[in-house]
Amino acid sequence: MDIKSLLVKNIRIDGVSEQELYALLKKSDGVNADYALPCFKFAKVLGLPPQKIAERLAEETSKDGIVSRAVAVNGYLNLFLDRIRVEKEVLSAVIDGQLFDDKVGEGKTVCIDYSSINIAKPFHIGHLGTTAIGSALYKTYKALGYHVVGINHLGDWGTQFGKLIVAYKLWGDKEKIDKGGVRALQEIYVRFHQEEENNPDLTRQAREWFAKIEKGDETAMQLFEYFKAITLNEVKGVYKRLHVEFDSWNGESFYNDKMQPILDLLDEKGLTEISDGAKIVNLEKYNMPPCLLVKADGATLYATRDLAAAKYRHDTYNFDKCLYVVAYQQNLHFKQFFKVLELAGFDWADKLEHVAYGMVSLADGSMSTRKGNAVWLSDVMDKAVAKAGEIIAAKNPDLVDKAEVAEQVGVGAVIFSALANSRIKDIVFDYDRVLNFDGETAPYLQYTHARCCSIVSKAGALDFDKCDFSGLAGEESWEAVKLLNEFGDILLAVTEKNEPSLLSNYLLDLAKAFNRFYLVNRVIDEGKVCQARLAVVNGIKSVLQKGLELLGIAAPEKM
């Protein structure tokens, strides 16, 4: 229910448009008014003092709609809502399954590049941000009716694959790698670096093998594809646990044959120059170091592939937005290649957006990637699930499906840790904090949802026609229902700012509002008043469930 629109329709001032009124009308504190309209701006048009205008509007405001009272105070038109009526309408929509407008994105396409892990490298905790934020955006845009293309821009190109082939040829054991996966690949990769120090010939061999990959040599390609398959098989298991989906797995190597045309175009436009044998775009004028396109030895770069990928995405999907959910460490990279596309005259360059996020470190200090001992995301998930299992066993020993609920709670806690704060902030991951059932956490939301489920199942089926909404006269009911009505606006804000934490924080507010509501309102009892309260609980349950789903978090009914 768009309360502001309804209120604006009720106010008429000659020479002032509905849009203008909409922008001026502001939510108020709920004590002096529910909404207030400052009338100072109309004084000139109408040739009247603001207070007079407010008085006139107060008189004209019809009281048979959603307004119960209108008063003029110091040049403001203060409006009070007929809360019971609003509550009834909001709940009726929510109970009907209309939680938000799911058509706002119709006809529009959004590409989201997220997670974008590297082949044969650990899927580590540093990827949690891009994976969780990207997935939440993916689900939210989709829910709003957008056509969404989720892209895992795999890091599957680079000289490291030459090294890996040499390592595999020397020390690889297929059986061991089939079983051990990326960890086993990492082991021989690390060994390569150790032995390379005393054996420069290994470096030469690695270069040779990479050249073979570039030429598409059969043996080289077979091994390359094998490493890729091992990695993908493993990460797909992790994505499944995280409820993360992709529509495209086109990684960097996909663009091998798509870079030349864009390089030619940049040449034609006179944007490129040769510097120390390398091809670059000079960005001095824009206070940036040059964007490196082709190295002196002819090798292309990360940026070259991103240029080709952006053009490919535009040509293939004709996007309205193309988002890159990538850590802020790459700020410069994105600024540079966006600038190059703009200079090349692509009018869609302003539709690209770098959705940057902060770093994760572990509270126990276990994040020391320098020595190659990265913290694997799946290990963090396993540990969180084990801890969630202990908490659940203590809190609810009779629960059936304990293992499944522990998985939902543990994994949910990990995901939520990356979504709870504004994305640009660095986070320190702490198991006890993210699993605190009383904290600002996923388990708190899941627990509140499970409480709603239990009330609903105890109270039995809701009969909306038998609700006496006078049972919702209290402040706690009003706060809860008002929040339910804001769900749609929150989802819009999430997509406008590409900021899922707005949804996380909203859900925390809603859960707290539920707990305050439930403290003072008897729900499970006979009578029409309790039926109305049960409608509130049903509504909160639906919105919590949907909201968690959009964040990629399961909502068990019991825990």
Residues near ligand ARG (CB under 6 A) are 113, 116, 118, 153, 155, 306, 309, 324, 326
State the amino acid at position 122 in one-letter form. Answer: P
Phi, psi angle pair for 47, to nearest 5°: 65, 35
What's the 3-state SS for 340-351?
A: HHHHCCCCCHHH
Query: Any idea how long the chain is?
Result: 559
User: Cβ of residue 549: shortest distance to ligand ARG, in angstroms?
Assistant: 26
175 Cβ neighbours under 8 A, 6+ residues apart: none
Complex with ligand ARG: residue 380 or 462, whichever CB lies closer: 380
> Which stretches of 412-525 are assigned E, i.e. beta strand?
427-429
Structure tokens at 204: 């030469």
User: Cβ of residue 325: shortest distance to ligand ARG, in angstroms?
Assistant: 8
User: Cβ of residue 306: shortest distance to ligand ARG, in angstroms?
Assistant: 5
Complex with ligand ARG: residue 117 or 511, whichever CB lies closer: 117
Complex with ligand ARG: residue 155 or 172, whichever CB lies closer: 155
Spell out the long-range contacts of 485-490 with Cβ–Cβ below 8 A and sequence spacing 24 or more.
485/1, 485/3, 485/86, 485/90, 487/99, 487/100, 487/543, 487/546, 487/547, 488/99, 488/100, 488/101
Phi, psi angle pair for 81, to nearest 5°: -85, 155
User: Cβ of residue 113: shortest distance to ligand ARG, in angstroms?
Assistant: 5
User: Cβ of residue 309: shortest distance to ligand ARG, in angstroms?
Assistant: 6
Complex with ligand ARG: residue 356 or 559, whichever CB lies closer: 356
Beta bridge partners of 150: 112
Closest CA to 471 of 521, 529, 514: 529
Complex with ligand ARG: residue 126 or 412, whichever CB lies closer: 126
User: Cβ of residue 125: shortest distance to ligand ARG, in angstroms?
Assistant: 13
User: Cβ of residue 461: shortest distance to ligand ARG, in angstroms?
Assistant: 49
Complex with ligand ARG: residue 53 or 326, whichever CB lies closer: 326
Beta bridge partners of 272: 281
Complex with ligand ARG: residue 129 or 539, whichever CB lies closer: 129
Strand pairing report for 147-151 and 109-113:
parallel
403 Cβ neighbours under 8 A, 6+ residues apart: 389
User: Cβ of residue 100: shortest distance to ligand ARG, in angstroms?
Assistant: 30
Complex with ligand ARG: residue 314 or 546, whichever CB lies closer: 314
What's the 3-state SS for 317-370?
A: HCCCEEEEEEEHHHHHHHHHHHHHHHHCCCCCHHHEEEEEECCEEECCCCCEHH
Closest CA to 220 of 157, 156, 165: 165
Structure tokens at 8: 């604006």
Complex with ligand ARG: residue 76 or 114, whichever CB lies closer: 114
Helix (H) or strand (E) holding 191: helix 174-196
Task: State how far the Cα of 300 lies from the Cα of 294, in Å rounded to an integer.
Answer: 5
User: Cβ of residue 204: shortest distance to ligand ARG, in angstroms?
Assistant: 27
User: Cβ of residue 470: shortest distance to ligand ARG, in angstroms?
Assistant: 55
Complex with ligand ARG: residue 33 or 154, whichever CB lies closer: 154
User: Cβ of residue 128: shortest distance to ligand ARG, in angstroms?
Assistant: 12
Closest CA to 252 of 201, 218, 202, 214: 214
Complex with ligand ARG: residue 118 or 205, whichever CB lies closer: 118
Report helix, strand or coil for 437. Answer: coil
State the amino acid at position 110 in one-letter form. Answer: V
